[in-house]
Structure 1
């Protein structure tokens, strides 16, 4: 397979992520990523806005200092105000970029609390807000406007650090992913290095763009100021608003940015790498010990540019300009630097790079010195632009030489150290330059028509330019690689060189040239590389100069033979060119056209280094002759095996040839010539320290060739197989992942189903529980409702019953009251009637008693007569016929006073007996005693008995009981009964219209109805049925049948009338009959309805 059929580094495929053999293409390749390009666009717009904001704040601080007279006023106060703005901004960067970088990185990290994208959005929004307000502080707070502007500068600096830290930690996540085959065929490109270079270039390009924006905004502001006084008074207001708009634009871009949520490398401190890199032998000084001086030169150039930019605002004021002049000066200087960096490789390509560095530094110093001396604005702008171009060339050349001094694996540390030192130099230059301008102040010298009037800024520019001149001299003296050749000769040759053939590598095959001094190990590396390249499947052609062709062999014998020591330098150069022409035509080009890899031991650079730098010939002329001889063919890669002449001489194992026999100074010049050529085109050269072991050198070269060498057919197949294997592995992993995901999804689905089932069961259980709870709640509520209803019904019933009861009670009470009134009325009538009847009976009884007394007296008298006659002589009793009939005493049913049966209680009024009221009646004066009818013994009057009739049974006539003879005794009222309200039973309908006649209630004994001692003492007994009865005492009868008299009481007076019936006996009847009747009534009451309460 030919090279034309293979993808080469110079003709990459569109889908290549990164072209490793071209640093420019590596940077451009990153911008093919949409999200990374969006982030880069936000960085560019935000960087322009941030730089423009700093420039605007410097102008506003100048205006506020002039208005306030800050720091003592005058030129010195204004210069100090400008220095303070830069100092505040540097302080914010130092604090949040170095001192507090750890906490800030933790906050914005992958696991931090702050989201990177929204943090950047917030930083842009904050800066836009403070810049909108910044021009207004002069109007709002005239006395403290400078302080508020300084606060604004600090806030913008802090926001810029937050934004930068978030961007540096988020950008690596947007880099392209490695190819599927990985590093199987060739090593992976270094995306992070390309990303750092892209970020660095973007940050630097933003400065001239911001200066251009300041110029345009100030011009528009001046146009507006022609009609609006406010804009005329605030010349930087519109520029501040433009900066705010740029931040808003960056914010809008970031809003749609998608940042992967992955772990990324931490952000780097601006001062990281400030310490010089070290090796095992100590501090790394590079191959030729030029690293410290190269770093110093680059830092001096960067500091001079920063110092010039810092005092440009004062210099513009001294020149009679404003923000427009200030912007033009900054744009001219920084734009010139950008142009110088870009054009440095093409500036005097044949001139030694080390001498070019010295010339560029000196040119920059002279330009700055002239810029301070010239008072014309246009001339100053032109001179400043040239100074910027010279500074750019010096920066690019110094960086290139620094890369040559360090091995490839050490270059990142060396570059990091250079950037850290440059940042410190820029900060010191921006801070000290205004202070120096304030210290110098304006000066004016007049001598006739000659006037020398300059401000402190102009003197500062002169001082900065003058300080660069000794730095240029020091660089030329210390690191000059052509010390034996006058500088003017090299400069003349570089300036007057003729047209050369176009130099370009061939499009087919791959050409590798191994260069270096004698003893560097070129032949050893050529064999090792050829073997390694063949193993990769390439056709390899190993050749050398001179001697690769038959003509070349004869020329080699002439050139290297010690006997040819008298050969002139020009002849030597032409012989080498002749051999090279034959070599290219017969060996190199045919092999390259076949697609082979050509490894050549020496090429054009050897002639330029040996005959140009080593001899006294012009390297330019030598290079021109060899380019003509080879028709402009240059290698794709030139490997420079750099080694010191002393070490190379120790490696000689044979007798030295004519060139090896040259002195050490010659070989030192040759070494410097090689390094100069490598510095002129770093992209095509690989400088390797040949003082290492051969295997280590081969590894470095192989690493570079892995990035540049086209793929062989075997490698293409291997790559295809690796890709297929990777795809198969990826497919297998994808299948496994799909199977795993399917299994996980199945398990997840089952789990979800199980969870759903459990959830459904749980929901069903909860639903049942809820229904049960609702049912119980409903039942409880129903029960409560029922209870409440029952309670309400009960209360209603109770209330109704109470109302009915009250109504009934009221009705009954009314009926009772009426009945009571009726009863009382009837009782009163009945009592009146009874009293009348009782009075009549009393009178009748009194009459009868009197008659009975008379009869008794008559009977007594007759009895006494009979006694007297008996004493005189007893007579035989009259015979009583045996068949005489016994007259039984009829039983008369007792009736109460009202004529009813004794079962009914008749309540009768007590009847006062007139005789009982008398003292002879034996009762208390308080009234008559009430005696129950059953306990009153009615003693009938005895008829007169004839003498001798004692032995006969007298048949008495029956005495019918009369209700008139009974006195009804009312039931005594218990104490307290009168205070209680009796609840009467309900009265049936119609009962209220009837008058109930209640039977009289009698007491248990007649004690309350007779006077004390009226009856003889008797012992009462209790019947088995619980009723009390009295044992009737029968009269004792003598043997002759005469009843025996009862003994009288001791207290009774013995009178002849004691045995006669008393008035009570006449009125109430015999006592024995009353007791019998009382027992019957008591039993009748027990069997009757009972007593009513």
Structure 2
């Protein structure tokens, strides 16, 4: 009998109804942003660049300020109410407020209408603060725990996936109004009516939804300031995560500059509301394309390099958007800008998820999201006043004339900021030092991995085993050595530290539990000294004889233990060991990936100096091993160390068979032929 496939989360009727409500609300929210900023620009004095800049900026500040200041208070207040009633009342309130904006714009003078836009926008965002935490707290009560991740992915899809739909709808409404000869603000009013209808549909869906508990634990959130302060405490100590967060926030600031001045920039390019809707949607279409296709097209490029490169290119594209005064080209470049932002955002989130310990991952993401909101608010609030202060200037040189206004200036500043952050990210996190970026990128475009130099042909095969304490790598290296001898190979089984006479003395110092005062740098240099002797006296001679070398630990152990565990600069550790080994790299590195708490429980007897380090140390070591494997998938075999020993051995044998000479020699025969190339 075949096992029944578990039902999709949308097969859950209550969640499906809530998800539909979230979808129409999200569509309404995006439509609201586009419509209100377009209305603000249309209500300002025609042709007055400064007035339009300040009007649009006021709408953005009104939309974002409540979440920054009142989020925790509203969440705590929402804890006290029936969640379904809270969401229904919030939807009805948003419906009434949005309809009132359309009515006031239609009937009142421009200055009165604009003031009500700001006031009503503040009120709508305050109401949102009740709806969002009630919704977030309801989802876990409607879906089983094993389906919660799938439900959250669907929620994320509608949160951002409805943005281009809203932009396209607004553009279509604007085209219809233009064809019918309507007033410029009419398309904004029609969009607000559709937006209000979306809130009304959401209220009806949630009102008929059964199974929402009145209250099931607190749903309040800490203040944004507290999240940022506590989050930086955890993020600041990790060099890679710190670089990722700074890069993502830099990209977010550049994106905020685009959002802030897009409306007045499109107007300066003689585009109407339809063009604004198209440009707004182009950002999100590009982001979706970047998230989906970017990583697939450049599969062979290091993720750390791609992260910095995407932000750098986004900055250069943003500068081009600022300087090119052609609406069609600007829209095309905006799609490319969104694609770069999407690539950077998905890589940053993925790498942070891999690098941050489970216990603090939630706080790290909360810190990132909270800081991003603050950065966005600051940039959007500053962008329009800066644009208004700079004004509009015409440069003439004979028959040539060029207009450079405040929106151009803001976009140039945002582009320069993103490019600088991207270059710093490339320098800060580059994990392929010495490999030219251009050659690496071209190889990735061709679907290949760039190799700096052709490998040196030698008749031996080098296999290294890596893993944390108690991972089982020593047992597996011994089992593989026995198996290879049974196949007729000349096998040299060795280990680090301690494979030479000098190495044995170094091992005694390095692993002595009483040697507590040894500095991290001294430890790294002693391991490198042992490795230099090991390569010179044991590994290289065996490889030139045509032997198979099976080593228990090699260079990657120093990168994991001294680089990540001791928090030394990984580039320094890598350079020292590359010099010590003459650049000798294994044909295959087998990583036995075992959770530290499992591995440490396996150890018997007194713990040595490394084994006695705290669990956090061993967690960092494991994460670095996994990051090294992810950066060089062709050279690594990663095996789950919690599997049965026989299963682990079988998986390793299957992988080694792929690189052994063919045909495999018998025990009675001499070993002939040449092993695969080795890099030195």
Q: How many residues align?
A: 556
Judged with a 3 Å threshold, the aligned counterparts in structure 2 of structure 1 residues 341 and 567 are, in CA distance, closer, same or farther, namely: farther
Structure 1 residues 101 and 423: CA distance shift in structure 2, 3 A: same
1:14 aligns with 2:5: yes
For the 8 Å contact 1:546–1:556, the answer to whether it is kept is no
Alpha-carbon distance in structure 1 between the residues aligned to 2:36 and 2:349: 32
Q: What SS is found at the alignment partner of 2:298? A: coil
Does residue 90 in structure 1 map to residue 37 in structure 2?
Answer: no
1:50/1:480 CA distance change after superposition, 3 Å = same
Alignment match of 2:49 (pick from 69, 75, 84): 75
Structure 2 distance, partners of 1:568, 1:662, is 24
1:664 aligns with 2:664: no
Q: Does structure 1 conserve the Cα–Cα contact (< 8 Å) formed by 2:98 and 2:193? A: yes
Corresponding position: 1:122 with 2:81: no
Alignment of 1:1030-1045 (within 5 A): none
Task: Name the residue aligned to 1:45.
Answer: 24
For residue 366 of structure 2, what is the aligned residue in structure 1?
A: 416
CA distance in 2: counterparts of 1:691 and 1:284, whole angstroms: 26
State how far apart, in whole Å, the 2-side matches of 1:207 and 1:83 are.
Answer: 20
**1:106 alignment partner in structure 2:** 79
Distance in 1, Cα, partners of 2:48 & 2:401: 22
Q: TM-score, normalised by structure 2?
A: 0.70
Name the Cα RMSD after superposition.
4.6
Matched, 1:58 2:37: yes
Is the partner of 2:402 in helix, strand or coil?
A: strand
Q: Which residue of 2 aligns with 1:430?
A: 380
Tell me by how many angstroms 1:387 deviates. 0.7
Distance 2:272 2:99 in 1: 21
Q: Deviations over 1:18-77 (max 9, x none)?
A: xxxxxxxxxxx433322112112211210110121122111111122226xxxxx92112
8 A contact 2:163–2:284 mirrored in 1: yes
The answer to whether the Cα contact below 8 Å between 1:522 and 1:601 also exists between their aligned partners in 2 is no
Equivalent-residue separation in structure 1 for 2:84 and 2:399 (angstroms): 64
Cα deviation for residue 347 of structure 1 reads 3.8
The counterpart of 2:120, out of the listed 121, 137, 152, is 152
Instruction: Give the counterpart of 1:248 among 197, 200, 209.
Output: 200
Q: Give the distance between the partners of 1:94 and 1:257, measured in 2 at CA.
A: 30
Per-residue deviation at 1:263?
1.3
User: What are the residue-to-residue correspondences of 1:464-503 with 2, within 5 Å?
Assistant: 464-497=414-447
**CA deviation vs aligned residue, 1:779-814 (integer Å, no higher than 9, x gap):** xxxxxxxxxxxxxxxxxxxxxxxxxxxxxxxxxxxx
> Cα offset for 1:99?
4.2
Structure 2 equivalent of residue 554 of structure 1: 490
Cα-to-partner distance string for 1:516-536 (whole Å, 9 max, x where unaligned)? 9877437744589x9xxxxxx
Which whole-Å CA distance do the structure 1 matches of 2:482 and 2:236 have between them?
A: 35
1:210 equivalent in alignment to 2:166? yes
Contact kept? 1:270, 1:420, Cα under 8 Å: no
Question: Are 1:60 and 1:135, in contact at CA under 8 Å, matched by a contact in 2?
Answer: no
Equivalent position of 2:468 in the other structure: 521
Who is 1:167 aligned against?
A: 135
Structure 1 residues 575 and 149: CA distance shift in structure 2, 3 A: farther
Higher normalized contact order (CA 8 Å, seq sep 6+, divided by chain length) = 2
Please give the TM-score of this superposition, normalised by the length of structure 1: 0.45
* Residue matched to 2:632: none
For 1:359-378, what aligned pairs fall within 5 Å after superposition? 359-378=309-328
Following TM superposition, by how much is the alpha carbon of 1:482 offset from its aligned partner in structure 2, in angstroms? 1.8
Q: Distance in 1 between matches of 2:488 and 2:562?
A: 27
State the Cα distance separating 1:85 from its structure 2 match: 0.8
Distance 1:694 1:642 in 2: 24
How far apart are the structure 2 equivalents of 1:156 and 1:685?
54
Distance in 2 between the 1:61 and 1:547 partners?
76
Q: Find the aligned partners of 1:59 and 1:375 in 2 and give their Cα distance.
A: 20
Mark the runs of 5 or more structure 1 residues left unpaired by the alignment. 8-12, 17-28, 68-72, 109-114, 178-188, 501-515, 531-540, 581-599, 615-639, 650-659, 679-683, 713-1093
User: Are 2:644 and 1:644 equivalent residues in the alignment?
Assistant: no
Give me the whole-angstrom Cα distance separating, in 2, the residues matched to 1:343 and 1:546.
45
**Alpha carbons of structure 1 residues 545 and 51: separation in structure 2 relative to 1, 3 Å:** farther
- Distance change (3 Å), C-alpha of 1:358 and 1:546: farther
In 1, the alpha carbon distance for the partners of 2:478 and 2:195 equals 61
Q: Which residue of 2 aligns with 1:627?
A: none
Once residues 642 and 89 of structure 2 are traced to their aligned partners in structure 1, the CA distance between those partners, rounded to angstroms, is 44
- Matched with 2:228 is 274
Q: Provide the C-alpha distance between the structure 1 equivalents of 2:352 and 2:365, rounded to a whole number of angstroms.
A: 8
C-alpha distance in 2 between matches for 1:673 and 1:204: 44
Cα gap change, 1:435/1:193 in structure 2, threshold over 3 Å: closer, same or farther? farther
CA deviation profile, 1:671-725 (whole Å, cap 9, x unmatched): x999xx99xxxxx997967999566669999xx9999989x9xxxxxxxxxxxxx
Q: Is the 8 A contact 2:256 2:380 kept in 1?
A: yes
Alpha-carbon deviation of 1:299?
1.0
> Partner of 2:216 in structure 1?
263
Q: Is the 8 A contact 2:594 2:640 kept in 1?
A: no
Contact kept? 1:520, 1:641, Cα under 8 Å: no
C-alpha separation in 2, matches of 1:705 and 1:105: 47
Change in Cα spacing, 1:33 to 1:665, as seen in structure 2 (3 Å) is farther
Contact 1:314 1:457 in 2 (8 A): yes
Q: 1:247 to 1:449 in 2, by over 3 A?
A: same
1:313 and 2:263 aligned: yes
- 1:647/1:372 Cα in 2 relative to 1: closer, same or farther (>3 Å)? closer
- Cα distance in 1 for partners of 2:116, 2:173 equals 23
Q: Equivalent residue of 1:107, what SS?
A: coil
Give me the whole-angstrom Cα distance separating, in 1, the residues matched to 2:18 and 2:301: 40
Q: Give the equivalent residue in structure 1 for 2:103.
A: 136
Q: How does 1:543-582 map to 2 (within 5 A)?
A: 544=480, 548=484, 550=486, 553-554=489-490, 562-563=536-537
Residues 824-846 of structure 1: per-residue CA shift (max 9 Å, x gap): xxxxxxxxxxxxxxxxxxxxxxx
Report if aligned partners of 2:41, 2:56 keep a CA contact under 8 Å in 1.
yes
Measured in 2, the distance between the counterparts of 1:235 and 1:296 equals 39
Pick from 330, 335, 356: which aligns with 2:285? 335
